[in-house]
Structure 1
């Protein structure tokens, strides 16, 4: 560590025992009593003027500099159980997508029947992909998810490009989209009769990012409890839609289901684009692998959480779309800017105002889950040397990666320079598919190169092969249909190569940055009471 950084050695020494001040020699002293361990770090009460301070065994002299007393291992703590794993996945996946994406799916699929097939197929595809990730997560039990898997299989260049793309562009932009959606629906619920300027929307989105950044910095359990509450809320909102839709069907409104395949678009590019629209709503299940170091009994709980959560989301999403089509025709869905609002206006009457409130809760929970998991990705990247060392520090007593959480919050705030959601998400879907393609390739490569490696959870080989083929299909056809957008995504990825060469590969250039980065580490240690993750001896 840089010479100006707080010394690990001094903290270790302070954390063990405090040796009392030496006393004058005594004639025939009794057997020495060992010093008691320090129990707290609070300074003694100041003495009166002229009074000589005394030091007793196990206590600090008043003129000593207060220091942090560490009696625990400085590392991420295993505080998340199976229920927290399920709610983290469900809460992260169910965001704003299910309330707006059905429009895109029906537009490209062309019919009610094909639309429902796409939603169910995407759910099953996500479940298969999640099981593949569960194998990787239990085999490589390190927070950081896809970054760790790509590093293990293909080395630092591929892992760095994933980190660059995901942290700096894709996830930060995606969370900015969720924050802006939160602001839009909150304003819709409060001042629905007025047109709100753009600046208040951005300020509300920034306030949400700031608040959840603070929560995730303070306590892991706080963030997990928020996720639990808002996951239940958003599921109740979708259950309300499903119940109202089934009630509408039971009343005899079956017009949209009499010829469900009428108007189907069978073009491969149209079907692949419909899958893209649906997969956007399913995105986020892979983030549970970022939490493996904080999950109790992860070799059991991670696969269970993934299987239960993705199955639950698939059922909810498919039934929600069944409900939408029970009330709205395909033409009405395509013309609607917010399908859930159109549905509520038709079925809830005077209670239609509750739908923006439910969507607000949904986006709030999705934002919290995104910040929680994204910070772990940044933390692991810094631990591996792909980000400054300062971002790998943990708070000495809360055991949260505060510098990584704050850095992620800053990136999200920077994305609010625009509130145009389309600009923010235009290039993300291809990148999402590309990263999943890379990770399932890593699974197949490790199966080939390391067949004897311990795998607490192992999927049937046919499943990752099928998932690999579907991801390949979803990359190739959009490349044909939308070459400009896909080319821009590839260009964004390529910008990480010169950065990797200058900042990591070229050690001589990296060494020139060691002094300012050392000062940054020192500053983060002071501001956030940060320590490197290690066991205190």
Structure 2
């Protein structure tokens, strides 16, 4: 019976995944373009103090994301494992550092990002229903939860359906931003660009400190977050050495170009004061320029964020799956459905954590927390690239970026985090504390091997019950390898259904 299940899962696992570059491109672009471009412009302008400096922050933010993505392209083809930052850091620095990255990501980074996108979705959907006030707290949370549950069901049911949704809604996202850009360019052609002229654009409402500029970059970085998410599904990308870099090289410049033009369009229609006072920037933009067709804008934004939720659910669940497969999370999360080959327990874990965050946080506070932890993770990972080159200089690297790329990124990273910590010690300090709470958890849960037998019995019993309830089982990488003869599987899989690795 076990051999049959393994064979069935093997057959299903061999179906085409992200074999076409347009799928990898849509996943990469779809994860970057979410709620950020509709939320972050307000925060970037608030901290930068002027339109001109805000636009510079957006362009430089894209350039920094491009440098980071080049480094991740090298890591992705050198260490071809799903799990992204976590897998690379674990391979390079060992279990403790990898676990701390995983701990902060699972506990706050990805559930918080998902919560922000889901709240943006519900706010824009409900804004036409409550045109003269902020949508009710309970209504936004309820709609966000329904959306999360639906997309979790989709991702549990079929990888192919989830990627098809991603393809469709990526086009929808670009169409929504394209509408904003076209309308903005029409305004500029009509001569409505006074706010964009240099002498007006660089009029500061207040002189920003270096710390405030750093916070502006953190706000912009939230809009660009997701540029590394294709690295989380490397094992599901066919020909990753070709398709992974190609998707990164196309998506980052495209997103930077689109974001910059979108902000120019915003400023062609709204004064800085109007933008800062708006609860939904794109809705205010539509009301000023689209008249009776302004309802198109919240619908377009809702479609954009819907696709963002789908993409983040897909990739964050693969992080949980990778962590469990390495033994850093309960083995339950390393299980996949025997027919659909989808990580159902990991998806349910991500969905549950996000719903909890939805109930306790507000959007702009959540962005500050998640942006700091994001940048901290990026820097540690890219520092690992340099260390890995020193540690294994003769290792074959299909892609090898110029040394100036990671060094430049790390210099900017150190300055940004230093000034951010100085300007917002509480927000950034909480992020560090959350990450460090993983140290005792690691030593008690992972490093301590001589646990009492009752603990092992309990841990082993949970996966067995899950197998029965969700029709899932543990499959390690070796079972998918065509080089492993099928007749060897029963010996290697004798403990699969008991939850032991």
- What TM-score results when the alignment is normalised by the length of structure 1? 0.85
Q: 1:314-356 CA distances to partner (integer Å, 9 max, x unpaired)? A: 0000011111111112222222222212211111111111111
1:223 and 1:243 map into 2 onto residues whose CA distance is: 30
Q: What SS class does the counterpart of residue 311 from structure 2 fall into? A: helix
Query: Residues 270-322 of structure 1, C-alpha deviation per residue, up to 9 Å, x if partnerless?
Result: 22111111111111111110011011110010001011011110000001111
SS in 2 for 1:285: coil
- Trace 1:128-277 onto structure 2 (pairs within 5 A): 128-192=67-131, 196-258=135-197, 259=199, 260-263=201-204, 265=207, 267-277=209-219
1:121 aligns with 2:60: yes
Is the 8 Å Cα contact of residues 127 and 134 (structure 2) preserved in structure 1?
no
Q: Which runs of 4+ in 1 moved over 6 A?
A: none
Partner Cα distance (1:197, 1:90) in 2: 31
SS in 1 for 2:228: helix
Residues 403-430 of structure 1: CA distance to partner in whole angstroms, max 9, x if unpaired?
1112211211222223522443342221
Cα distance change, pair 93–160 in 1 and its aligned pair in 2 (3 A): same
* DSSP-derived class of the 2:131 partner: coil
Moved more, 432-441 or 453-462: 453-462
2:250 is matched with 308
Structure 2 counterpart of 1:344, from 262, 282, 286: 286
Describe the shift of the 1:419–1:506 C-alpha distance in structure 2 as closer, same or farther (beyond 3 A): closer
Q: What 5-or-longer segments of structure 1 have no aligned partner?
A: 1-9, 16-66
Residue 197 of structure 1 and its aligned partner are, at CA, apart by: 3.3
Deviations 1:467-517 (A, max 9, x none): 111111111001111112211111111111111111111112275421111
1:18-57 map, 5 Å: none
1:367 aligns with 2:305: no
Could you say which residue in structure 2 is the equivalent of 1:63? none
**Match of 1:72?**
10
Instruction: Answer yes or no: is the 8 Å Cα contact 2:222–2:367 preserved in 1.
Output: no
Q: Which residue of 2 aligns with 1:517?
A: 459
- SS of residue in 2 equivalent to 1:438: helix
Quick one: distance in 2 between partners of 1:273 and 1:419? 19
Match of 1:112 in 2: 51
Q: Is the 8 A contact 2:172 2:304 kept in 1?
A: yes
Paired residue for 1:433, among 359, 364, 375? 375
CA–CA separation in structure 1 for the residues paired with 2:247 and 2:425: 37
Distance in 1 (alpha carbons) for counterparts of 2:364 and 2:216: 17
CA shift at 1:115, angstroms?
1.4
CA distance in 2, matches of 1:74, 1:251: 56
Q: Which residue of 2 aligns with 1:526?
A: 468
Larger gyration radius, structure 1 or structure 2: 1
1:177–1:421: 8 Å Cα contact kept in structure 2?
A: yes
Q: Judging changes above 3 Å, is the alpha-carbon distance between structure 1 residues 523 and 298 closer, same or farther for their aligned structure 2 residues? A: same
Q: Which is helix-richer, 1 or 2? A: 2
For residues 430 and 346 of structure 1, the distance between their equivalents in structure 2, rounded to whole angstroms, comes to 34
Which digits, 9 at most, give the CA deviation of each residue in 1:51-73, with x for residues without a partner? xxxxxxxxxxxxxxxx8873735
- CA–CA separation in structure 1 for the residues paired with 2:193 and 2:170: 31
Return closer, same or farther for 1:401/1:510 CA change in 2, 3 Å cut-off. farther
RMSD: 1.9
* Partner-residue secondary structure (3-state), 1:342: helix
* Paired residues of 1:503 and 1:510 also in contact (CA < 8 A): no
1:11 aligned to which of 2, 10, 15: 2
SS in 2 for 1:101: helix
Match of 1:70, SS?
Answer: helix
* Equivalent of 2:341 in 375, 378, 399: 399
TM-aligned CA deviation for residue 78 of structure 1: 4.8
How many correspondences in the alignment?
A: 475
Bigger mean CA deviation after superposition, 88-97 or 310-319: 88-97
CA distance in 2, matches of 1:426, 1:325: 24
Residues 392 and 401 in structure 1, CA contact (< 8 A), matched pair in contact too? yes
Q: Are the aligned partners of 1:164 and 1:493 in contact in 2 as well (CA < 8 Å)? A: yes
